[in-house]
Amino acid sequence: MPTYEYECTRCGLHFEKQQSINDDALSVCPECNGKVKRQVSGGSGFIMKTDSSSYRDQSKSCSLEETGKTCCGRSQRCDKSPCGD
């Protein structure tokens, strides 16, 4: 559930509230009953990292023939898969 930031236009109170994205924005300050505005914030991003080697086409051998370097950066074939095909 996302956390939204609010600030009171009367007393300046800055507070956070966990709300569903379907909930209406708060309008009343919990301290002074003044009007509040929801603040724009960067939030927390969601980054999903993957192991790119798992997506490598396993039917191909390393790129020595194409680039002059193997998939692990060597200029000759190594004895470990996938370079050692």
Do 72 and 83 form a contact (C-beta atoms < 8 A)?
yes
The structure's pTM equals: 0.49
Over residues 13-44, the pLDDT tens digits come to: 999 999 998 999 999 999 999 999 998 766 66
Over residues 37-73, the pLDDT tens digits come to: 998 766 666 666 666 555 555 445 556 666 777 777 7
Task: Supply the pLDDT for residue 49.
Answer: 66
Token pair belonging to 43: 């939030």
Closest listed residue to residue 29, CA positions, set 9, 48, 45: 9
